[in-house]
Amino acid sequence: MDIELWWFLALPLFFALGWLAARIDIRQVVHESRALPRSYLSGLNFLLNEQQDKAIDAFIEAVKIDPQTIELHFALGSLFRRRGETDRAIRMHQNLVDREDLSEEQRLQAMGELGQDYLKAGLLDRAEAVFAQLRDSRLNDVAMRYLLEIYQQEKDWAKAVEAAKALPDHESVMWRKEVANFYCELATSALASSKYDETQKYLDEAFSINRRCVRASLVQGDLLAAHARYEEAIDVWKRVESQDPIYLALVAERVMDAHAKLGRIEQGQTLLRSWLERHASLDLLDEVFHWELEKEGSRAAYDLVREELRRNPTLLGLDKLLEAALLHAPSEQRGDIEMVKQLIHGHTRRVARYRCAECGFKARQFQWRCPACGGWETYPPRRTEEYDLAP
């Protein structure tokens, strides 16, 4: 193999060029590292080690040294908000919004962060004002979702409807359910104020969005009952069985009151018993038990609960059975029954709550909207024990 003379001349040149390039890169790295505040690097190190308190102190020092670090302002503001230090987060993001050297993109981002700070702090009016300014910008969809949450917290259902319909996916199943509930809120408020025409208008809107809206059927029956049209109200409430039978427990009391107004209590009891036979429910059992006890006596109520307990054994059912037994038991046995009932009742308090199907939040009262996660119709009238026994 022949070796050309120029190879020997080129090799030193290549080494020299490589050494020169390396020196230039090293100088650039050193220059950039020196340009960054030392506290900035310390803050990053603290974050990586999950030492957030020390990281915040380091970042604050870095901002004092180099106030032009926009990204650091955003990072520090978000960190304050996650820690619950909303006052500091608000000041940080407000300073960004007020700066004149920000690009339009950065200003929109800063306003979005500021709106979230206000929302986290519970300053709903200020948060609403910020997100309203972001409408028709590139952050429009994000702003509308936050506005929707704000209007729900403020119970401004008309604005909530408007915000939900402005979302790009407002025709999805989820939003149909939510918007139908917004209209039901408006209908319930109008009915309470005896504004019957408005009530019907809102109910029509709710049904147009969700034909299977159980809540709209409940309010529709209430509207008919307010006009003493009890027969029609009963027919409307009966529709709930085909819409979602789990909500029959909410209808039971209304149905019996309407039958009582018509002088047909026995017919109402028969209807409730048929519902209970087809759709086991502790709340429905409680309503049937109440009317059986009032009209037929303690023995009939006892037999009803005993039969239901055989079909669906539950602690809450047993508690109801002991209540009926206590009423017609001989006086010498009542002490023992009362003692057992108190023991059982102590255990049933744990399983007598309602539970959100989405987040698992429990409460003693039924809610159309979960107080914890904000989900609509995720809080069905089923006791915790019924969930635990469900296959």
Rounded to whole angstroms, the Cα distance separating 91 from 88 reads 5
Rounded to whole angstroms, the Cα distance separating 386 from 246 reads 11
Task: Give the tokens for residue 38.
Answer: 């030392």
Buried b / exposed e across 199-217, counting CB within 10 Å, b at 16+?
bbebbebbbebbeebbbbb
184 annotated among ligand-binding-site residues: no
The gap from C-alpha 138 to its chain's centroid, in whole angstroms, comes to 26
Q: How far is CA 114 from CA 47, 81, 95, 138, 205, in A?
A: 23, 10, 10, 16, 35
Task: Name beta bridge partners: 383.
Answer: 354
Give the chain's largest Cα–Cα span. Answer: 123
Could you give the 3-state DSSP secondary structure of residue 369?
strand
Rounded to whole angstroms, the Cα distance separating 89 from 250 reads 45
What are the phi and psi torsion angles at 362 (to 5°)? -115, 145
Rounded to whole angstroms, the Cα distance separating 343 from 347 reads 7
213 annotated among ligand-binding-site residues: no
Task: Kindly give, in sequence order, each residue whose CB lies less than 8 Å from that of residue 285, ignoring residues fewer than 6 positions away.
Answer: 276, 305, 308, 317, 320
User: How many residues are present in the chain?
Assistant: 391
The answer to whether 161 and 179 have CB atoms below 8 angstroms apart is: yes
370 annotated among ligand-binding-site residues: yes
Residue type, 69: T
DSSP string of 73-96, one letter each residue = HHHHHHHHHHTT-HHHHHHHHHHH
Cα within 13 Å of Cα(265), Cβ side: 10
Short-list 224, 214, 220, 199, CA closest to 249: 214
Task: Give the tokens for residue 377.
Answer: 């119709």
Rounded to whole angstroms, the Cα distance separating 226 from 292 reads 26
Binding-site residues for Fe cation? 356, 359, 370, 373
Binding-site residues? 356, 359, 370, 373
